[in-house]
């Protein structure tokens, strides 16, 4: 956030920038939740895992076709069979928790049925991801708050406008925290009902 939209009376620019900055940790949180396994494996579990191949890091979805063949089975069919060892290495180093198996053409990830222990582990992971997302929102709020204080010290905006900015800042923060809490509650219920 290089330039900061402080023009006396222009709340719209402030709100737009605020929303844009708070969307970043929120969107990341949405991706993280999609990767948390519930009753059926999802390709999103492995799509964003980085694979080192051809001298650079690429996401799993860029190196092959990923399919959820069954409720507990993911398959990865690489575009180039020569990179199967790199894909397996990336999967082993990730937090997927499943050992890859390959037949020279396709890599298979067989996930176990959900045990109560695994469910409890996933709920801990969910709690951490949710708290990380809340921290991201609070960090954005802190950064905006610092800019407001700085502008107030320099007397580039009035006290009245500072109050209005702080009100908008708190409303934006509350809105994103509520969204995170709602998504957390829904995902936790999914995990409990497996």
pLDDT digits (tens, 9 = 90+) for 22-60: 999 999 998 888 777 666 677 888 888 899 988 899 888
Q: Does residue 64 contact residue 77 with C-beta atoms inside 8 Å?
A: yes
Q: pLDDT digit string (tens) for 75-132?
A: 999 998 999 999 999 988 887 778 888 898 999 988 877 677 778 888 888 999 999 9
Domains within the chain, CATH numbers bracketed: 11-35+116-192 (1.10.132.20), 44-110 (3.30.1360.40)
In sequence order, the 6+-apart residues with CB closer than 8 A to the CB of 59 are 47, 48, 49, 50, 51
Query: Does residue 48 sit in helix, strand or coil?
Result: coil
- What are the beta bridge partners of residue 109? 74
Q: Which residues contact 131 (CB under 8 A, 6 or more apart)?
A: none
pLDDT at 3 over 70: no
Residue 1 banded pLDDT, cuts 50, 70, 90: very low
Contact in structure between 91 and 109 (CB atoms under 8 Å):
yes
The Cα 118–Cα 127 span in angstroms is: 14
Distances (CA, A) of 26 to 32, 102, 134, 178: 10, 36, 8, 11
First to last CA, the chain: 42
Q: Are 34 and 126 in contact (CB under 8 A)?
A: no
Asked whether the whole model's pTM tops 0.85, one would answer: no
What is the average pLDDT value for the chain, to the nearest integer? 87
């Amino acid at each position: 956030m290089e330039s900061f939209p402080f023009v006396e009376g222009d709340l719209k620019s402030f709100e737009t920038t605020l929303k844009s900055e708070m969307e970043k940790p929120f969107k990341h949180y949405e991706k993280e939740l999609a990767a948390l396994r519930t009753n059926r494996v999802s390709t999103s579990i492995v799509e964003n895992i980085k694979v080192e191949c051809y001298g650079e890091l690429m996401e799993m979805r860029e190196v092959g076709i990923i399919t959820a063949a069954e409720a507990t089975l993911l398959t990865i069919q690489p575009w180039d069979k020569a990179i199967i060892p790199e894909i397996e290495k990336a999967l082993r180093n990730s937090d997927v928790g499943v050992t890859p198996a390959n037949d020279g053409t396709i890599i298979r990830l067989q996930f176990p049925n959900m045990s109560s222990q695994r469910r409890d582990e996933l709920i801990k992971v969910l709690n951490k991801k949710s708290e990380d997302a809340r921290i991201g929102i609070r960090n954005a709020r802190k950064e905006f708050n610092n800019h407001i204080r700085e502008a107030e010290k320099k007397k580039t905006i009035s006290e009245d406008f500072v109050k209005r900015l702080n009100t908008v800042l708190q409303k934006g923060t509350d809105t994103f925290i509520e969204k995170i809490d709602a998504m957390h509650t829904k995902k936790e219920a999914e995990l409990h009902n497996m």
